Amino acid sequence: MDRPTEDSTAQDPGWVDDLLFSGRSTDVCLRLPEPVDRATLHRLVVGAQDRLTAAGLRPGGAAALRLPPSLAYVVNLLATWRTGAQAILLDHRLTDHEVRQALERLTPQVVVAPVRTGGGALRVFVDVTEGVTAYADRPATSGHAVIQLSSGSTGPSKVIGRTAADLVAEVHRYTRIDGVALPGERIILLPSMVHVLGLVGGLLYGLHAGVELVPPERLSGDAVLAAIAAQATPATVLGVPFHIGLLASTRPAGPLPQFRRMTTGGELVPAATAQAFTDRFGVPLGNMYGMTEVGVIGTDLHGRHRPSIAPAPGIEVREVDGELHVSCPATPYVGLSDPTRWADGWLHTRDAGSVDPDAGLVTVKGRLDSQVSIGGLKVDLTEVEATLTGLPGVGAAVVVHDGGITAYVQPDGPLSEEVLEKLLAERLAGYKRPRTLHLVEQLPRTTTGKLLRSATALRATAP
């Protein structure tokens, strides 16, 4: 891989203070559950900068952060950027083998990892004491401010880079979206800040806009509701479809007037799950569509157009031969030159969809590779999947083509293959119905909570 010049890797660190620390120093920005104000956060970040620099981090270099969600993660991320360096975000759940592969490819100057972790496995934010070790004395592999690994729900992870200017533009894009949490309000933050929704839609937007970020104490429905009820200010829950199901199955102890809405990113939300949530809480269930490569693409935060969305401000979406393309000035991929993913200022999402020429609304129909031919007839596996998830007793389902249409179903109550087959026969034509049904205790998911669609991983779950 060609190394960039020093000029191309230089990051102007001023964007961090301008974007994230321009508010009042006494304002609380994090509640863990102890409040952390801007002045305290800034002091911690400056201290972390000194430690990173002492370990060998330089402007134009890179720091790999292998930290669980924690104050240490936030502090070291912002300290890396204030140093003028690139942050390589490694999900703490990656194996040592996966981390070694990433480090060998991206060659950071320093690696930040826990030397002690406390708080228990179900804690959303944990108590971390971090250590910094030197790794490679060379500049970053690209001029991006952040490097993320894609969640890889359908294949190997991609290495994706975003510039400081791109992050700043996306944060400002959030401020123009109707329905986002406003200054003085709270975001109950459930997704990981290693990935784009939690990173930009949660951490960076919250710090910029003066919105408190409140991770619940534990990842449970009761803990999320307790976090909402803890203060009187309005609260938006930010999560993924898995979290909707978690809340929909939790009965609140009393009224929650603070609960303003829930916003979800990631995969499509099954209609039955969305209905169960709105029936229980009576608040809007907002939808957000985005990708690691470009961040937020479109939203419907009031839940008026489900399953369609409106493109986010400054984002163009077009449909080409059934595939959605999104405006993206430069390739976001590091070390990957593939015109089927990015070409001529357009990111090829590999999502099937359509764009209404009059209303401008975008309908996402699922992965492009979900279209298969059965006996010469086209079948959309997302239709089969949506039908399954709408059935009573089905908690989640994944449908793949693996020598034939194969369905893996995670029950959410009493269920048998015979009952499933009978219900599907009433709802789907014969050529659309799964040839093989597997009831599994737990469907595999990516680190971001998306259902894995790898046939190999799914086969391993079948009894």
Residue 258 covered by a domain: yes
Whether residue 301 contacts residue 284, with contact meaning beta carbons closer than 8 Å, is answered with yes
CATH number for the domain harbouring residue 234: 3.40.50.12780
Task: Give the angle subtended at the CA of 195 by the CAs of 264 and 146, to the nearest 5°.
Answer: 140
- Residue 133: strand, helix, or coil: strand
pLDDT score of 448: 65
**pLDDT tens profile 69-79:** 999 999 999 99
| Same-domain status, 380 and 286 | no
User: Quick one: angle between helices 241-248 and 271-281, nearest 10?
Assistant: 50
| Same-domain status, 275 and 402 | no
Cα–Cα distance for residue pair 35/45, rounded to 1 Å? 16
Residue 68 covered by a domain: yes
Q: Does pTM top 0.95 for this prediction?
A: no
Tokens of 446: 């990516």
CATH number for the domain harbouring residue 450: 3.30.300.30
Residue 321 covered by a domain: no
pLDDT score of 17: 96
Tell how far CA 72 is from the center of its chain.
Answer: 20
| Same-domain status, 276 and 391 | no
Residue 380 covered by a domain: yes
Residue 355 covered by a domain: no
Q: Is the dihedral of CA 68, 74, 79, 84 positive or negative?
A: positive
Q: How many helices (H) and strands (E) does the chain have?
A: 14, 25
Domain boundary among 229, 264, 291: 291
Residue 335 covered by a domain: no
| Same-domain status, 396 and 263 | no
Whether residue 305 contacts residue 323, with contact meaning beta carbons closer than 8 Å, is answered with no
Domain boundary among 247, 269, 291: 291
Residue 54 covered by a domain: yes
Range of the domain at 444: 375-459
Domain boundary among 262, 291, 320: 291
- Residue 146: strand, helix, or coil: strand
- Smallest CA-to-CA distance from 139 within 106, 112, 184 is with 106
**pLDDT tens profile 279-319:** 999 999 999 999 999 999 999 999 888 888 999 999 999 99
Burial 402-418 (b: 16+ CB within 10 A, else e): eeebbbbbbbbeebeee
pLDDT score of 153: 44
The residue behind tokens 């949506």 is 386
Domains held by the chain: number: 2
Low-confidence ranges of the chain (pLDDT < 70): 1-11, 119-122, 151-157, 375-376, 447-448
